[in-house]
Amino acid sequence: MAASPPPILSFLLLLILVLFATVNLAEDVSITTERKRKKTYIVRVDHRAKPAVFPIHGDWYVSGAFSGGSEPLDLLHVYDTVFHGFSASLEPGRAADLRRNPAVLAVFEDRVRRLHTTRSPQFLGLRTRLGLWSLSDYGSDVIIGVLDTGIWPERRSFSDRNLTPVPSRWRGGCDSGPGFPASLCNKKLVGARFFTKGHDAAFPEAAALADADGGVNGTAAEFRSPRDADGHGTHTASTAAGSIAFGASMGGYAAGVAKGVAPKARVAAYKVCWKSSGCLDSDILAGFDRAVADGVDVISVSIGGGEGVASPYYLDPIAVGAYGAASRGVFVATSAGNDGPTGMSVTNLAPWLTTVGASTIDRTFPADVVLGDGRRLAGVSLYSGEPLAAALPLVYPGRTGGLSASLCMENSLDPKLVRGKIVICDRGSSPRVAKGLVVKEAGGAGMILANGASNGQGLVGDAHVLPACAVGAVEGDALKAYVAAERSPVASIAFRGTVVGVKPAPVVASFSARGPNGLTPEVLKPDLVAPGVNILAAWTGAAGPTGLDADGRRTEFNILSGTSMACPHASGAAALLKSAHPGWSPAAIRSAMMTTAAVADNRGGFVADESTGRPATPLDFGAGHLNLGRAMDPGLVYDLGDADYVAFLCALGYQPSTIQVITHAPVTCARSASASASDLNYPSISVVFDGGAANRSQSRTVVRTATNVGTSADVVYRVRVEMAASAAVNRVSVAVKPTKLAFSAAAKRRSFAVTVATAAAAVPEPVYGHLIWADGTHEVRSPISVSWIQYM
């Protein structure tokens, strides 16, 4: 048996161990603190500055040139197609050091973006064996890259039956991963990739959970592969380019033949968004970079801008990535956002993007609330379970339970109050379908979701987990008045299935984001609207139609609403136009969509704004509703290229070094006192007057150049201007010179000037109208917006 050490020695050994542990603990705390301070940054580098000694840019980025004497950078992504640079997880001090590096053009923080969450091809004017579908062979050789939540490839919408071989120019591939062997790609789904590094750096806990089992069964509810756990990406991809699927429906609703806008186009899925945590800028930029390198023709991005005020174009990775794509001939469509009808809510503002708002189609899913006094209040629903057997007591928890109860927030309902009853819930603050789950878990038998004043009469169908329907603000007020007045109020809900041929349609959806453009009001946004309400498309096998974890139902198709659903309609349309006109630039394709957009509904009246019931304005729907029956042959287009965008950015006052962050190549700005952002050769015209000088006369002249793309080389177009009645009230006049444009084989491009003037007595309220060039066959229509802005 060994002898025990002397007491003093034992004490010293214990003291050393305590001190050692304390030092280690302090080091651990220091390391943890340092890690907590780290953020992901995107670094834009002047790639021309790379020394020849480095074979590739990635080697240069991890060299001493960027480490500054510290340990080499741990890169997340290296960008080398639409953008040159890298992303890395850095302490703020090291990011500041990088900003001082002469080879670095810009450094900006990674941000989280959010997803902007059939019959629609026919409603767009597409007809089998006729027009654009026939002339483009349904988009057969065009490849659409979808930046979203991934894809569920087993759906019929991604069948490659009867498709020709994949175009030989395609350079992409399939990333394998848990639940997604590369063999799932085919002649339809030609590529599938996923990007996790930005997400993992921002959400390490979620990454660790997913890594534990590949994300197949973990609490992160995600797949570490291109497989779509959310459903959003599957829905948007099939909307743009889904193959024909007979016998499609969602629980019996919208039964018929499902197909995408470009049913023979190919799909490449780029998973840049994650179900639990959204989309990171660094991953989005990596998706753009890879999609263009792979060889896509069109990119569809149903992802929203960051929170709050819009970032300048050079600090917006979606804008920067899209510029790199557009400069290589790739058309990029983006969603406008779902924060309407609030003004200046539109996102994705760059003029090289096509920004798409949402409208209704002529199909709805009515459900009536029948009150005990016999009144019927109209609503909508996609509930497909057992209906209510009889009228039940009706209750509004907001009368006594406060705001959270009125909104049916989690744990806000008293089971004693709602058990066995139909519960009225106010819309807002939580997902619509989540309110139904709260009611169900509290013992409620049904739900009526009532719009507030901000939502007006705009209704969206949902596949609720209990008998439920949505009603407009007027009906909601009537319901609450009935409950307050009756001693024993009762109601029932009658579900009436699918109704086609609804009038009026289209209508601008109340949730669709509105202008003006908060960054550059001289560029009208949104550009146009497309079907985005109650759209049937393919769905994931990993989630129920509500997307709630508690929803155990599974369905091949789902019906969703949002500008996310509108965007892929424009992406599919671009694929058809690209197939029919392979020489057209992205700007020419957008111009064709915009100048042929419809401003009349199916009753012959002007397209209305759902939130007000009044005629929509260009700030609501841009140029109008996508109309592919006419876009194939627009007559004239307003084309744009890199030089035009550079001149636009110079007119905004951007310095050449700042512009280079967007354009890659170095630029110079010509000094011109007359340069104006309004002169960008855009298919719409937005004139902004000084609101501080509204009591005196003002005028602005903008210039546009039209290119003849019609079948006749020798043609003459004549102009007319149609202004709303408010133009007379505000004493606004519009003059065009020349009033006639003569084209020939030798003169395919003609320029004209538009002068907008206002008298001293004008009232500074927005004025709208249209400029139309007509040759007897074509009508080339551009919206006009005149506004007054008070500059600080």
Please, are residues 746 and 709 in contact by the beta-carbon 8 Å criterion? no
What is the average per-residue pLDDT within 10-17? 40
The phi-psi region of residue 771 (left if phi > 0; otherwise alpha if psi is between -120 and 50; otherwise beta) is beta
Written as one string, the DSSP assignment of 5-45 is PPHHHHHHHHHHHHHHHHHHHHHHHHHHHHHHH-EEEEEEE
Calculate mean pLDDT across residues 136-159.
89
Q: Of residues 132 and 153, which shows the higher confidence score?
A: 153
DSSP classification of residue 276: T
The pLDDT score that the predictor gives to residue 33 is 42
Residue 48 has pLDDT above 60, yes or no: yes
Under a CB-based contact definition with an 8 Å cutoff, are residues 396 and 480 in contact? yes
Write the pLDDT tens digit of every residue in 213-229.
454 443 346 899 999 99
If you average pLDDT over residues 576-582, what whole number do you get? 93
Q: What percent of the chain has pLDDT over 70?
A: 89
Q: What is the mean pLDDT of residues 75-92?
A: 92
- Strands 253-258 and 245-250, by their bridges, are antiparallel
Active site residues: 148, 232, 564
CA 232 to chain centre: 11
Please return the burial class of 641, using the count of CB atoms within 10 Å of its CB with bins 0-12, 13-18 and 19+. Answer: middle
Q: How many degrees, rounded to 5, is the angle at CA 772 between CA 766 and CA 778?
A: 150
Q: What integer pLDDT is reported at residue 115 of this predicted model?
A: 78
- The one-letter amino acid code at 508 reads V
**For strand 84-90 and strand 39-45, is the pairing parallel, antiparallel, or unpaired?**
antiparallel
In this prediction, residue 123 carries a pLDDT of 52
Average pLDDT over residues 166-172: 95
**Average pLDDT rounded to a whole number, residues 230-259:** 93
pLDDT at 209: 61
CB atoms within 10 A of CB 785: 24
Q: Per-residue pLDDT for 130 more than 50?
A: no
- Look at residue 24 in the predicted model and tell me its pLDDT: 44
Q: What is the pLDDT of residue 29?
A: 39
* Cβ(397)–Cβ(408) below 8 Å: yes
- Residues with Cβ within 8 Å of 568's Cβ and at least 6 positions away in sequence, in order, are 146, 236, 237, 239, 240, 260, 261, 300, 302, 333
Q: What mean pLDDT do residues 137-142 have?
A: 74
Give residue 42's pLDDT: 94
Interval 234-244 mean pLDDT: 95
- The domains located in the chain, with CATH, are 1-34 (no CATH), 38-109 (3.30.70.80), 120-360+505-630 (3.40.50.200), 366-497 (3.50.30.30), 642-679 (no CATH), 681-789 (2.60.40.2310)
Q: What average pLDDT does this structure show over 23-46?
A: 61
Contacts with 785 (C-beta within 8 Å, 6 or more apart), sequence order: 515, 516, 524, 617, 618, 619, 684, 685, 686, 687, 766, 767, 768
Q: Which of the four pLDDT bands, split at 50, 70 and 90, describes residue 7?
A: very low
Flag the least confident range among 201-205, 360-364, 574-578. Answer: 201-205
Who wins on pLDDT, 401 or 718?
718
Per-residue pLDDT at 20: 40
Closest CA to 136 of 589, 457, 568, 624: 589
Note the pLDDT of residue 397. 93
Residue pair 617/591 in contact (Cβ under 8 Å)? The answer is no
Mean pLDDT of all residues in 198-212:
75
The H or E element that residue 484 is part of is helix 473-485
> For position 618, what pLDDT does the model report?
97
Cα–Cα distance between 620 and 506 in angstroms, integer?
Answer: 13
Phi, psi (5° rounding) for residue 428? Answer: 125, 155
Query: Across residues 495-509, what is the average pLDDT?
Result: 93
Structure tokens at 746: 């030798």
Q: d(Cα 607, Cα 349) in Å, to the nearest integer?
A: 23
Give the containing element (helix H, strand E) for 629: helix 628-631
Please tell me the predicted confidence (pLDDT) of residue 2: 43
pLDDT for position 523: 97
Q: What is the pLDDT, as a whole number, of residue 21?
A: 42
Q: How far apart are CA 513 and CA 361, in angstroms?
A: 18
- For residue 11, pLDDT over 60 is answered with no
Pairing of strands 468-471, 331-335: unpaired
Q: Which tokens sit at 187?
A: 């002649």
Q: What is residue 401's predicted lDDT score, i.e. its pLDDT?
A: 77
Q: What is the band of 37 on the pLDDT scale with cuts at 50, 70, 90? A: confident
Percentage of the chain beyond pLDDT 90 is 71
The angle formed by the CA atoms of residues 430, 433 and 435, to the nearest 5 degrees, is 55
Asked whether the predicted pLDDT for residue 293 surpasses 70, the reply is yes
685-707: average pLDDT:
90
Question: Bigger pLDDT: 402 or 530?
Answer: 530
Q: How do residues 662-676 score in pLDDT, each as one tens digit?
A: 998 888 898 765 678
Least trusted range by pLDDT, from 164-168, 370-374, 458-462, 505-509: 458-462
pLDDT of 121 above 60? no
378, amino acid identity: A
556: pLDDT strictly greater than 90: yes
Give the CA radius of gyration of the chain: 29
Mean pLDDT of 146-172: 95
Is 46's pLDDT higher than 80?
A: yes
Mean of pLDDT over the chain: 88
User: According to the model, what pLDDT value does residue 306 have?
Assistant: 55
Confidence (pLDDT) at 18: 39
What confidence score (pLDDT) does residue 122 get? Answer: 52
- Does the pLDDT value for residue 15 go beyond 50? no
pLDDT value at residue 671: 73
CB atoms within 10 A of CB 327: 19
Q: Bigger pLDDT: 275 or 286?
A: 286
DSSP 304: P
Q: Dmax of the chain from CA atoms? A: 112
Segment 271-275 shows an average pLDDT of 93
Residue 435 has pLDDT above 70, yes or no: yes
pLDDT at residue 716 greater than cutoff 90: yes
pLDDT category at 139 given cuts 50, 70, 90 is low
Token pair belonging to 684: 């719409």
Q: Residue 35: what pLDDT?
A: 41
Neighbours of 783 (CB within 10 A): 26
Residue entry with tokens 């400069």:
327
Question: Confidence band (pLDDT; 50, 70, 90) for 16?
Answer: very low
Backbone angles phi, psi at 57, to 5 degrees: -65, -35
For 330-353, the pLDDT digits (tens) are 999 999 999 989 999 999 999 999
pLDDT of residue 217: 40
| pLDDT surpassing 70 at residue 290 | yes
Per-residue pLDDT at 643 exceeds 60? yes
Angle between helices 473-485 and 398-406 (to 10 degrees): 150
pLDDT band at 770 (very low <50, low <70, confident <90, very high): very high
